[in-house]
């Protein structure tokens, strides 16, 4: 994936602006360079980090941002209502079927992700962003149980 990313960056002649690096977000974050960031994006990735390690990760991102920097996160989420969670899952599987996935493929993917992808509720995510520094945190997008959050560092 990294090789392909590098190739695409080169094709678009953006290699003087982007650098692709491999890092483990559940490991020692002090070994990963992230300073003075204006914007950090994390799409569909935090859900794979063990819940106990997420606070540390968010705090590290907050500390790495400049004043008024933004953190944009996309995540699979749970709602408070179990019935609604069930609806969203069914709608999503229908969407996959409409796009050519077979039931067996859908079932295998579900099994592969069990206990690996651990979604939080909306409110749990917002609370986590705030308790780790973000002064402003809210959702700006939702499609079924997929949501995106915008968090801002605004100390003044
Ligand atoms: C669903 S994919 C999303 C990929 C990409 N962000 C996108 O939006 O297309 C989840 C990504 O999380 C990454 N990931 C999972 N655990 C990770 C970890 N501990 N450290 C770094 N990345 C991790 C995987 O390598 C994978 O690329």
Residue 17 lies in a domain: no
Could you tell me the distance, in angstroms and rounded to a whole number, from the CA of residue 26 to the centre of ligand 1? 11
Domain span at residue 152 reads 50-156
pLDDT tens figures, 94-142: 999 999 999 999 999 999 999 999 999 999 999 999 999 999 999 999 9
What sign does the CA torsion over 46, 52, 55, 56 have? Answer: negative
Residue closest by Cα to atom 12 of ligand 1: 45
CA of 118 to the centre of ligand 1 (A): 13
CATH number of domain containing 122 = 3.40.50.150
Domain-located, residue 35: no
**Cβ(44) – ligand 1 distance below 6 Å:** yes
Position 153 in a domain:
yes
Separation CA 142–CA 26 (nearest Å): 26
Helix (H) or strand (E) holding 140: strand 136-143
Percent of the chain surpassing pLDDT 90: 94
Mutation to probe ligand 1, out of 31, 48, 61 (largest number of atoms < 8 A from CB): 48
- The tally of domains found in the chain comes to 1
Mean pLDDT of the chain: 95
Q: What's the rounded Cα separation, in Å, for the pair 51 and 120?
A: 9
Q: Could you tell me the pTM of the whole model?
A: 0.92
Query: Is 30 part of a structural domain of the chain?
Result: no
Residue 25 lies in a domain: no
Query: What's the confidence (pLDDT) of residue 155?
Result: 83
In a domain, 137, yes or no: yes
Q: What is the pLDDT of residue 150?
A: 98
Strand partners, 72: 41, 150
């Amino acid at each position: 994936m990294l090789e392909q990313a590098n190739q695409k960056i080169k094709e678009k002649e953006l290699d003087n602006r982007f650098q692709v690096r491999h890092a483990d977000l559940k490991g020692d974050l002090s070994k990963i360079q992230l300073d003075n960031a204006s914007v950090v994006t994390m799409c569909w990735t935090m859900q794979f980090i063990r819940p106990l390690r997420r606070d540390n990760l968010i705090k590290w991102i907050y500390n790495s941002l400049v004043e008024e920097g933004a953190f944009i996160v996309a995540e699979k989420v749970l709602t408070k209502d179990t019935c609604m969670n069930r609806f969203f899952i069914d709608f999503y599987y229908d969407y996959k079927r409409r796009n050519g996935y077979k039931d067996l493929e859908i079932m295998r993917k579900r099994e592969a992700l069990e206990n690996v992808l651990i979604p939080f509720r909306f409110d749990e995510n917002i609370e986590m962003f705030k308790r780790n520094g973000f002064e402003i945190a809210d959702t700006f997008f939702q499609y079924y149980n997929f949501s995106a959050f915008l968090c801002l560092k605004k100390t003044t």
